[in-house]
Chain A
Amino acid sequence: MMMNTEIANIRPDFALITNWVRTDSKVLDLGCGDGGLLTYLHDTLKTTGYGIEKDDANWLEALKNGVDVIQMNLEEGLSGFEDQSFDTVILSQTLQAMHNTETIVREMLRVGREAIVTFPNFGYWRNRLQITLGSMPVSKSLPYQWFDTPNVHLCTIHDFDQFCRDHHIQVIERKVITGGQDVHVLPNLMGNLAMYRLKSAN
Chain B
Amino acid sequence: MSESNSVGIVKAQTAHFTEPLTLQSGAVLPQYHLAYETYGELNASKSNAVLICHALSGNHHVAGRHTPEDKYPGWWDNLIGPGKPLDTNKFFVIGLNNLGGCHGSSGPSSVNPLTDRPYSATFPVVTVEDWVESQARLLDYLGVEQLAAVIGGSLGGMQALQWSIAYPDRVRHAFVIASAPNLTAQNIAFNEVARQAIITDPEFFDGDYYNHGTLPRRGLRIARMLGHITYLSDDAMGEKFGRKLRHGELKYGFDVEFEMESYLRYQGDKFAGEFDANTYLRMTRALDYFDPAKAYDGNLSQALSRAKAKFMVISFTTDWRFSPARSREIVQALLDNALPVKYAEVTSAHGHDAFLMPDPHYHNVMRAYLEQIK
**What's the minimum C-beta distance from A190 to chain B, rounded to whole angstroms?**
41
B residues less than 8 Å from A70 (CB atoms): 331, 335, 341-343
A69 sits at the interface (CB 8 A): yes
Please determine whether B365 and A50 come into contact, CB atoms closer than 8 angstroms. Answer: no
A134 sits at the interface (CB 8 A): no
B368 sits at the interface (CB 8 A): yes
**What's the minimum C-beta distance from A120 to chain B, rounded to whole angstroms?**
29
Interface positions of A from 27 to 65, Cβ below 8 Å from B: 48, 50, 56, 59-60, 63-64
Name B340's closest neighbour in chain A (CB-CB). Answer: A68
- Docked CA distance A59–B336 (Å): 21
B336, B340, B364: the one contacting A82 at CB < 8 Å is B336
A81 sits at the interface (CB 8 A): yes
A residues less than 8 Å from B361 (CB atoms): 56, 60
With a 10 A CB-CB cut-off, give which of B335, B340, B361, B364 has the most chain A CB atoms.
B335
Please determine whether A81 and B368 come into contact, CB atoms closer than 8 angstroms. Answer: no
**What's the minimum C-beta distance from B149 to chain A, rounded to whole angstroms?**
15
B residues less than 8 Å from A81 (CB atoms): 332, 335
**What's the minimum C-beta distance from A58 to chain B, rounded to whole angstroms?**
12
- Docked CA distance A50–B343 (Å): 11
Cβ contacts B321-356/A at 8 Å (1 or 0 each) = 000000010011001101011111101000000000
**What's the minimum C-beta distance from A61 to chain B, rounded to whole angstroms?**
9
A80 sits at the interface (CB 8 A): yes
Considering only CB atoms and an 8 Å cut-off, how many residues of chain A contact the other chain?
Answer: 18
Instruction: Please report whether the interface of chain B is mostly helix, strand, loop or mixed according to DSSP.
Output: helix
Please determine whether A60 and B335 come into contact, CB atoms closer than 8 angstroms. Answer: no
A60, A68, A82: the one contacting B368 at CB < 8 Å is A60
B residues less than 8 Å from A68 (CB atoms): 340-342
Please determine whether A56 and B331 come into contact, CB atoms closer than 8 angstroms. Answer: no
Chain B contact residues, CB within 8 Å of chain A: 328, 331-332, 335-336, 338, 340-345, 347, 361, 364-365, 368-369, 372
Chain A contact residues, CB within 8 Å of chain B: 26, 48, 50, 56, 59-60, 63-64, 66, 68-72, 80-82, 85
Please determine whether B331 and A64 come into contact, CB atoms closer than 8 angstroms. Answer: no
Please determine whether B347 and A64 come into contact, CB atoms closer than 8 angstroms. Answer: no
Please determine whether A66 and B372 come into contact, CB atoms closer than 8 angstroms. Answer: yes
B328, B338, B365: the one contacting A60 at CB < 8 Å is B365
A residues less than 8 Å from B364 (CB atoms): 60
A residues less than 8 Å from B341 (CB atoms): 50, 68, 70
B335, B345, B368: the one contacting A64 at CB < 8 Å is B368
**What's the minimum C-beta distance from B337 to chain A, rounded to whole angstroms?**
11
**What's the minimum C-beta distance from A46 to chain B, rounded to whole angstroms?**
15
Name B329's closest neighbour in chain A (CB-CB). Answer: A80
With a 10 A CB-CB cut-off, give which of A59, A68, A69 has the most chain B CB atoms.
A68
- Docked CA distance A88–B338 (Å): 15
Please determine whether A72 and B345 come into contact, CB atoms closer than 8 angstroms. Answer: yes
- Docked CA distance A64–B328 (Å): 21
**What's the minimum C-beta distance from A81 to chain B, rounded to whole angstroms?**
6
Please determine whether B335 and A63 come into contact, CB atoms closer than 8 angstroms. Answer: no
**What's the minimum C-beta distance from B317 to chain A, rounded to whole angstroms?**
11
Name B361's closest neighbour in chain A (CB-CB). Answer: A56
Please determine whether B335 and A50 come into contact, CB atoms closer than 8 angstroms. Answer: yes
B328, B332, B344: the one contacting A59 at CB < 8 Å is B344
Please determine whether B342 and A80 come into contact, CB atoms closer than 8 angstroms. Answer: no
A residues less than 8 Å from B336 (CB atoms): 82, 85
- Docked CA distance A85–B372 (Å): 28
A residues less than 8 Å from B345 (CB atoms): 71-72
Name B339's closest neighbour in chain A (CB-CB). Answer: A68
**What's the minimum C-beta distance from B35 to chain A, rounded to whole angstroms?**
34
**What's the minimum C-beta distance from B173 to chain A, rounded to whole angstroms?**
12
Name B369's closest neighbour in chain A (CB-CB). Answer: A63
**What's the minimum C-beta distance from B345 to chain A, rounded to whole angstroms?**
5
Name A66's closest neighbour in chain B (CB-CB). Answer: B372
B residues less than 8 Å from A63 (CB atoms): 342, 344, 365, 368-369
**What's the minimum C-beta distance from A92 to chain B, rounded to whole angstroms?**
21
- Docked CA distance A48–B345 (Å): 23
Name A69's closest neighbour in chain B (CB-CB). Answer: B342
Please determine whether B344 and A80 come into contact, CB atoms closer than 8 angstroms. Answer: no
- Docked CA distance A26–B339 (Å): 12
Task: Give 30 CB contacts A-B under 8 Å.
Answer: A48-B338, A50-B335, A50-B341, A56-B347, A56-B361, A60-B361, A60-B364, A63-B342, A63-B344, A63-B368, A64-B368, A64-B372, A66-B372, A68-B340, A68-B341, A68-B342, A69-B342, A70-B331, A70-B335, A70-B343, A71-B343, A72-B343, A72-B345, A80-B328, A80-B332, A80-B335, A81-B332, A81-B335, A82-B335, A85-B335
